[in-house]
Every structure is written in structure tokens, then in C-alpha cells.
Chains A and B, each alone.
Chain A
Amino acid sequence: MFKLKPMTVAIALAFSLPIGVQAQNTAADIDDIRKQVQEIKDAYENRIQGLEKRLKDAEDSATAAQSSSSKTDAQTQNVPMRQSTQNAFNPAISLILDATYGKFQQDPTKYAITGFQPSGATSPGDRSFSLGESELFITSNADQVFMGALNLSLHGDDTVSVEEAYFQTIALGHGLVVKGGRFFSGIGYQNSVHAHAWDFVDPSLVQRSFLGDNYGDDGLQLTWVAPLPVFVEVGGALGRGRNLVGTSSAGGLTANDLNKNGAGSGSAFLHVGDDVGVSNSYRAGISYLQTATGPNAFPLADFDTVTGVTNTFSSSKVRLYGADFVWKWSPEGNYQYQNFKFVAEWFQIHREGDLTFDTTGAAVTGPFTQHQSGWYMQGAYQFHPYWRVGLRYDQLQKGSFDGGINSANITPVDYTPQRYSAMIDWNPSEFSRIRVQYNEDKSQQNLTDHQIFLQYIFSLGTHGAHKF
């Protein structure tokens, strides 16, 4: 017979070792162990009771010091909770859940914007029930110099993408902030807003056509806020050029395009803003973004539709100019009961480079230039703490096209895509939103698509802060 030390028992219990392994022990041994366990339990219970008493005394004296006789709520106590574990340093985590039900009169899988290149997602959504993006945000200060953030997007088709993963400086001072990694470009207004914070289910047509849902890149960004009584911010970024502005992601950049030193994209933006009285605030901005294609060929889906043959462009420089304006109003600046938000954006895209007509046949290559533009404006009015209604109008303009020697081969369609949208959403708290939206979508020539969306968005975990 051996004598178990209390410590051994404690360790055995801690690792949840089944007592059964001691099966060969006699009943006397088991009794012995039971007795020892009981002793340990008693000892600890005494200590816990002692600690509880001390805690209660401390609470009582704290309450006395407060000289409080207010209602004691069952769910509250007057002692601050102190986190003392390593978990206290865990990053802030928030999770967005999002799904839609879509009803489309026209087939969304055949969706196109007549005369415009699709950029990023080409589909306006799916019919029936479909899971949207579940977004996972993780953010924390790394140290006294840097903060870091990760935004993973879990797509309904079981794929995951890193939407944003960046560091940002917090201690440079002088109004300077450096951001590096993968992040949404600071151009325009809507571009850097995550899908869950949009005022409508879908992005504007101009955003969808030129930038995709959100144009992001791997790179470095510098912003500077001027030391002025009004808000003036200038910024610029250099990037890898992972995505070509105004080009389908399906025909995106190849490894070869990206296999070069230096920057593949560059952007710059200027923002000004201020309050007008206590009830109004605005921000206005202009921006510029440039990406280059390199020697590889890119598809020109809209020209393919017109010509019936395959066309590509290469060695192209794509430049995007933008202007944006946001205005918010609420009575006395109190956003709780009523507020109104107006957003308008305009973009113009310039493509110049080599155009190859009928790549598998005539294969005529020559320089080309194309200018296209688009704009939208939208308003969202919160007329009750829980309810908002919104209206949006979208338009794209075909602009100019000079096909050089291919001018005879390609004549772009003369069409102005338009869309009208109306939405109403119910927000029982800052953490949930149920939305209904209707679009009259005239993106395609001779086709009017009546679209209805039902959407939910839930935000779990850390209360996120939103930009203006």
C-alpha cells in the first residue's frame, strides 16, 4: 500500500484522470483517497469562504463610502470588475452576419452593364436565399507605436478572403498616419466603407463598374491632417496593383504582371469637412487612382458583346478621377431620433493603351483611348429611432471612345445605364438591421430588371466605431 500525497491527488484531479485506473487498489485505498480528497475540499472551501467574506467586507465598505441608497439592480453591483488574466490583452473582435433573399425578374447570372466593363463581382446578387459576407474584424494596438487590424470575409460559397490586413501608426504625431498592408483605398467615399455599413444592399453602379465592391490593394498609405480649424486631410498610397481599375477580376492580373519591382498602383486624395451650425456636417473630397496593365492582355467583355469576337487590351494605363460629397443632418446634432445622410459621388475612368480586335481572327492591334464616367446620389432618412428609408439614383455615361485603327471595327453602344433604388430598414439597436430594398435596374439595354432584396445584418462582439 502506498500513501498518496494530497498534491498527487490534486494533480490527478486537475487532469481529470479517471479514478478507475486505480482499479487494482483495494477498497481501503479508495476510502483513503476519498478521505484525502474530502480534506482538500474542506480546506479549499474554508479558504474560499474566507475570501468571500473579505470580498463582502470590501464591498460593504465601498458601498458605505458611496453613501448610496439607490435602487440595487439585480444585475448590477457597485464593485468594478477587474480583468487580471492574459485574456485582457486579447484584441477586440467583432463578427458581422449578413444574408439576403433576392428576387430578380431578369436572370442575374446573365447580368451585364451595357457598354461597361465589369469590375470585381459581376453579379447583382443571387436569386432566393443566399448567405452574404460574414465579416470577422480583429483589431488591437500592437504596442505604443502601431495598431493592427484584420478583416476576413467569409463568403457564402465557402471561400475566405482577406479583405483588409494592415498596420497603422498611432504615434507619429504632426497629423501623420502611415498605413501598410492590405487595405481599402481611401479614394472616394463608399470605397472604404465595409459592406455591412452600406446604406443599401448593393454598391452603386459606378462603384460596381469601376472599383468592384471595394477597391483594395497591398501597399503603403500616408495621410496628413492639416493643423487647421477646418478638417483638411491629404493622402496618397502606393500599391502592388493587384486589381486593375475598371477591369473584371475574372481576367485579373497574372503572376507575370505582378512580377516586377516598384509600384503597380498609385492614388491620392484630398478631403475637407466641417460642421455647419450644430445640426449639419459635411465632408467633400477629390481623388485619383492609377493602375497599369503591363504587357499582358485583358478582356474587354463589353466590346465582345458588340462585335461578336474576342477583344483584349494591353500595355494600358487606367486612371480614375473622383469627387465625393457627404452631408449629414440631425436636429440639434442629436442622431438618436432623426437624422439624414446624403451621399453623392462621381467618377471618370480613362483607359489608354493597345487594343487588339478579334484576337483569334484578324488580330488588329492599335492604340485606343476611352473615357467613361458615372455618378450616383442617395439619401437615407432616419425618421424614427428604429426606422430609416432611403432613395438612390445611379447613372453611367458612355463618354468617348477613340479606337484608332480599330475605330471601324468597334462602335460602342450608345446607351446610358440607370438604376432607381428604394430601401427601408428596421434597426432595433445599433447591432442589428433588417432591410427591404427595391431596384428598378436598367443596366442592360432594352431590359428593365425589377429586383427585390430582403437582408439582415447583425453585428456581434465589440462595438465597432464607424467613420463619418
Chain B
Amino acid sequence: MKRLFKWLLPILLATAMVSPAMAALSIFVCEPEWGGLVNEIAGSRATVFSATTAMQNPHMVQARPSLVAHARVADLLIYSGAELEVGYLPVILQQSGNDKIQVGKTGNLDASKYVPLIEVPAILDRSLGDVHAMGNPHIHYDPRNMILVGEELKKRLIEIDPSGAAEYESRYKVFSDHMHAAIKRWEQEAAPLRGVAVIENHKEVSYLFNWLGMTVLGSLEPKPGVEPSAAHLYELVQNQKAHPAKMIVPASNRDPKPSQWLSDQIKIPVVPVPLTIGGSPGAKDLFSLYDDAIRSLLAGLKS
């Protein structure tokens, strides 16, 4: 009996230590930034699967079998919304047979519902490109949005996993305090960027420009979702004389060639920014994402 106990005790202890990890919430995020947010607020209470990376165009994602498999077991789904994932997420939701993450359920968190959207089109017509009826869905590049979505995420986590309520509350508080302080710091650091004119690639970085008060003079894409054309790039070259831009800012998932060509023509630097977490060696989590982007822009301004 004593011997049995001797064997059992370590096993029981090991099980007790392992089981919280085994019972971790399974969270499916469509874009890596929401994984970053989960890490801040849920810590080790959740495991994250991200459908996309910072090197991919989040509009053009295949409804891969692996996405169905991970959606099947997810306790919570987080996505940018505003039609960003419209090309694959409905298929994944239908095929997964997971009732917890269907639209309208606690486990379905559409981040765009909790933040003010910019660039809401007044005219809806596909001849204007791949416009999003509800507004620009790339909401993650305004860190203030992370606080808003983070608060909703905290509520959802508490509802789904009440036993972790205290931890979610305290982690959110810490995150929110850190984020508020960081925003203040970033806004000071980025003061020289205010009013700086840039050329973007696609409207993926709009929220960052909007937050930092930068001016977008033009886009490499003639229309959202339409590839840069020679004629349009030539137009940008012409515009540069009358309205000079300081730098070209493509995101990490974009073909660098059009930016480089334009840069050679108009002699302003290309300043790539990570699309999201993982888009540059420095962008390892939410805080370092904004750090990295602002540092790159400031360096671009000096060069």
C-alpha cells in the first residue's frame, strides 16, 4: 500500500500540474495580432492557432483543411471582421460543425464591432476596387483599438472560462495600463511624424497613419485590391513634384518591387513596416509591433 502510494503521489502531482495546460482554452484567431492580444490577457490559460501570418494577404486565404480542424475544437474565434475574412471564414464555420464559434455566439468575437472604423465608403461599387462596405477592416494598427477589443475579449473569456475570471481581470488591467502608458510614449516619440506625407501600398496601415496623424498622399494600388500598374505608378511619379511624399511604406506581405521602382524614380526611401506580429524580426508581440513600426518610420524620416 505504501509502495503504491509512493508511485501514485508523483503521478497525481504530475497530473495536477499538467491538467491546467490540458484544459487550456483553444483559441482560433484569423490574424496574428489577435493571438498577441490573447497572449496578453489569457496568458497560459489559452493556446492560440492563427489562420494567417504577417507575410500573407489576409483577404486571400484558402479555406484550408487545417483551418477546419482547428475551428472544430476552438472555444473562441477572434477575427478582424468588416468583411476581411469573407472569402473563407463562412466555409470554415459551416464545415467545422462547432456551435460555440458561430456568428452571434459568445465564442465568436468580431473585433470590428467594438472599434470605430475609418474609411467607410459612401459609394459601394466594385468598380472602385475591393472596397469593404463597413469600413477599413485592418483595425489592429491603432493600439487604442487593442484596448477596446481587449476589454471585450476579457468579458468573453470570463464567460467561457469563469474559473479564470480573476486572472483575466488582473491581466487585462495590467495590459490596459501598459498599453495606455505605451500609447502616451509612442505618441511623444512619433510627434515628428505628425503631418508627414507617405505613399502606402494597400490600406493595411491606414489605422497607424490615422493614429499618428500622418498623411497618405497616394497608394501603390490604383484601387483597393487592384495591383499597381505602370500607368498608376507613373502618375505617382508625376504627383511627387506637386505634392512630395517623404517615404513609401509597404507592409511585410507585399511585393517589394513596385515600391522599389517608385523609390528609384522619386528618390524617397522605402520604409517597410510589419503587417502584424511576425512581419519583422522585431515585431514579436503587440507592444514590439508598434515599437518596431514607429522606429522604422522615424528612421525613414531621418534618412
Task: Out of A144, A173, A467, name the residue touching B104 (CB < 8 Å).
Answer: A144
Q: With CB as the reference atom, state the residue of chain B lying closest to A334.
A: B56
In the complex, whether B102 has a CB less than 8 A from a CB of chain A is yes
CB pair A466–B99 under 8 Å, yes or no, is no
A466 to B83, CA, bound (A): 14
- Which residues 45-101 in A have Cβ within 8 Å of B in the complex? 62, 65-71, 73, 75-81
**A71–B215 CB distance below 8 A:** yes
Q: Which of A144, A274, A465 contacts B88 (CB 8 A)?
A: A465
Provide the bound-state CA to CA distance between A362 and B215, in Å: 88
Q: Are A335 and B62 in contact (CB under 8 A)?
A: yes
Interface set, chain B 192-250, CB cutoff 8 A to A: 194-195, 206, 209-211, 213-217, 225-227
Contact (A283, B65) CB under 8 Å given A75-B122, A147-B94, A386-B227: yes
Give the interface residue-count category, chain A.
35 or more
User: Which residues of the other chain, A, contact B173 by a CB distance below 8 angstroms?
Assistant: none
Query: What does DSSP make chain A's interface, helix, strand, loop or mixed?
Result: loop
Whether the Cβ atoms of A274 and B83 lie closer than 8 Å is: no
Contacts of A231 in B (CB 8 A): 65-66, 68-69
Return B55 CB to nearest CB of chain A, in Å.
Answer: 4
Q: Are B118 and A174 in contact (CB under 8 A)?
A: no
Contacts across chains A and B counted by CB atoms under 8 Å: 181
Q: Are A227 and B72 in contact (CB under 8 A)?
A: yes
Among B60, B63, B97, the residue within 8 A (CB) of A225 is B97
| Minimal Cβ-Cβ distance residue in B for A328 | B62
Quick one: given A172-B97, A273-B65, A281-B65, are A463 and B56 in contact (CB under 8 Å)?
no
Tell me which residues across on chain B come within 8 A of A467, comparing CB atoms. Answer: 63, 91, 95
Q: Are A75 and B62 in contact (CB under 8 A)?
A: no
In the complex, the chain B residue whose C-beta lies closest to that of A272 is: B65
Q: Are A177 and B94 in contact (CB under 8 A)?
A: yes
With a cutoff of 8 Å between Cβ atoms, the chain A residues found around residue B216 in the complex are 70-71
Q: Is the CB of B102 within 8 A of A170?
A: yes
Which B residues touch A465, using CB under 8 A?
A: 63, 86-91
B181: CB under 8 A from chain A?
no
Considering only CB atoms, which chain B residue lies closest to A232 in the complex? B69
- Residue from A232, A334, A466 within 8 A of B87 (CB atoms): A466
Q: Knowing A70-B215, A71-B215 touch, does A174 contact B97 (C-beta < 8 A)? A: yes
Q: Is B301 an interface residue (CB 8 A)?
A: no
Whether A161 sits at the interface, judged by CB under 8 Å, is: no
Instruction: Judge whether B69 and A468 touch: CB under 8 Å.
Output: no
Interface residue from A66, A334, A428 paired with B116 (Cβ < 8 Å): A66
Is the C-beta of B269 less than 8 angstroms from some C-beta in chain A? no
Would B226 and A429 count as touching, CB distance under 8 A? yes
- A271 to B68, alpha carbons, bound, how many Å? 12
Give complex CA distance A283, B64 in Å: 8
Binds A, one of B7-15, B17-25, B36-44, B126-134: B126-134
Chain A residues 173-190 with CB under 8 Å of chain B are 173-177
A431 to chain B, nearest CB (A): 6
Q: A466 near B91 (CB under 8 angstroms)? A: yes
Chain A residues, CB < 8 A from B57: 334-336
Query: Does B296 have its Cβ within 8 Å of any Cβ on chain A?
Result: no
**In contact, A70 and B69 (Cβ under 8 angstroms):** no
Flag whether B123 is at the interface (Cβ < 8 A): yes
The contact of B86 among A69, A173, A283, A463, by CB within 8 Å, is A463
Bound form: Cα–Cα A79–B121 in Å: 10
Q: Is A337 an interface residue (CB 8 A)?
A: yes
| Cβ-based interface call for A7 (8 A) | no
Whether a CB of chain A sits under 8 angstroms from the CB of B165 is no
Chain A's closest residue to B82 (CB) is A80
User: What total of chain B residues lie within 8 Å of the partner, measured CB to CB?
Assistant: 66
Compute how far the CA of A191 lies from the CA of B210 in the bound complex, rounded to whole angstroms.
47
Q: Is B155 close to A, CB under 8 A? A: no
Asked if B210 and A68 make an inter-chain contact with CB atoms under 8 angstroms apart, the answer reads yes
B100 within 8 A of A: yes
Q: Which of A175, A176, A177, A466 has the most CB of B within 10 A?
A: A175
Report chain B residues within 8 Å CB of A81: 120, 133-134
Bound-state Cα–Cα, A371 to B77, Å: 47
Closest Cβ of chain B: how far from A216's Cβ, in Å?
18
CA of A283 to CA of B97, assembled, Å: 18
* Docked-complex contact A429 and B99, CB < 8 angstroms: no
**Contact between B87 and A228 (Cβ–Cβ < 8 Å)?**
no
Question: If A76-B122, A144-B104, A466-B87 touch, does A225 touch B64 (CB 8 Å cutoff)?
Answer: no
Q: Is A366 an interface residue (CB 8 A)?
A: no
Q: Within the complex, what minimum Cβ distance (angstroms) separates B87 from chain A?
A: 5
Whether a CB of chain B sits under 8 angstroms from the CB of A4 is no
CA distance A77 to B52 in the complex (A): 29
| Closest A residue by C-beta to B94 | A168
Q: A177: nearest residue on chain B (CB-CB)?
A: B97
Is B288 among interface residues, defined by CB-CB distance under 8 A? no
Least CB distance, B235 to chain A, in whole angstroms: 16
Q: How far is the CA of A468 from the CA of B253 in the complex (A)?
A: 22
Instruction: Tell whether A273 pairs with B66 under 8 Å between CB atoms, given A70-B213, A76-B122, A80-B117.
Output: yes
Q: Which of A144, A227, A332, A428 contacts B73 (CB 8 A)?
A: A227
Give the contacts of A153-167 with B (CB-CB under 8 A): none
Chain A hits for B104, CB < 8 A: 144
Q: CB distance A430 to B87 under 8 Å? A: yes
A residues in contact with B215, CB < 8 Å: 69-71
Interface: B98 (CB within 8 A): yes
A367 within 8 A of B: no
Query: Given the interface contacts A78-B118, A336-B57, A463-B86, does A170 sit within 8 Å of B130 by beta carbon?
Result: no
Of residues 233 through 277 on chain B, the ones whose CB sits less than 8 Å from some CB of chain A are 253, 255
Q: How far is the CA of A225 from the CA of B70 in the complex (A)?
A: 10
Interface string of A97-137 (1 = CB under 8 A from B): 00000000000000000000000000000000000000000
Q: Which residue of B lies closest to A169 (CB)?
A: B97
In whole angstroms, what is the CA distance A467 to B62 when docked?
8
- A141 sits at the interface (CB 8 A): yes
List, in ascending order, chain A residues with CB within 8 A of B97's CB: 172-177, 223-225
User: Is A364 interfacial (CB 8 A cutoff)?
Assistant: no
* Chain B residue with Cβ nearest A459: B126
- Give me 17 A-to-B residue pairs in the complex whose CB atoms sit less than 8 angstroms apart, sorted by A's number: A76-B120, A170-B94, A172-B97, A176-B97, A177-B94, A225-B96, A225-B97, A273-B65, A273-B69, A282-B65, A334-B57, A334-B60, A385-B227, A428-B226, A465-B89, A466-B91, A467-B63
Q: Which 8 A-B pairs have the closest CB atoms?
A: A273-B65, A231-B65, A173-B99, A231-B69, A175-B97, A332-B55, A336-B57, A76-B119
Residues of A that sit less than 8 Å from B by CB: 62, 65-71, 73, 75-81, 141, 144, 147, 168, 170-177, 223-233, 271-275, 278, 281-283, 328, 332-337, 385-386, 428-431, 460, 463-468
List residues of chain B with CB under 8 Å of any chain A CB.
Answer: 52-53, 55-57, 60-66, 68-70, 72-73, 83, 86-91, 93-100, 102-104, 116-123, 126, 128-130, 133-135, 194-195, 206, 209-211, 213-217, 225-227, 253, 255
Given A231-B65, A273-B68, output 4 extra A-B contacts at Cβ < 8 Å. Answer: A66-B210, A171-B99, A281-B65, A333-B53
